[in-house]
Structure 1
């Protein structure tokens, strides 16, 4: 279920970044901030368990950033 949510957010960010590149930065930051907060909470677990639990959140943060960047990059390559 969580994977589906992350994929949905990434697709939404790509579409938003492609259509309105400047206005897509705020939703991107909000989504990454939410994932970062989950990673911070998971990272408070003791020892290696904290690193293991926070890893999916950092990966999803990175995926959200890459998808928004790809949308803006694709828009920049259009001839108009």
Structure 2
């Protein structure tokens, strides 16, 4: 199921599907390793504060407005 990064719960792993409303900031996201196809872990996403994700071993802080422009797919947790 697809949603936007600003609504992904803390502790979840999501795959970035697309980035909406391309602008100058998209280049910076790509430099940080945030681009379609990448799997990220949502570290913090509560209240009105920023969304913190972990990508390639680094934590990246994104404002809610920017996170709202990143479409993600929730990954199913493997059991066993």
Structure 1 or 2: larger helix share? 1
Give 1 or 2 for the bigger CA radius of gyration: 1
User: If the length of structure 2 is used for normalisation, what is the TM-score?
Assistant: 0.24
User: If the length of structure 1 is used for normalisation, what is the TM-score?
Assistant: 0.24
Structure 1 or 2: larger strand share? 2
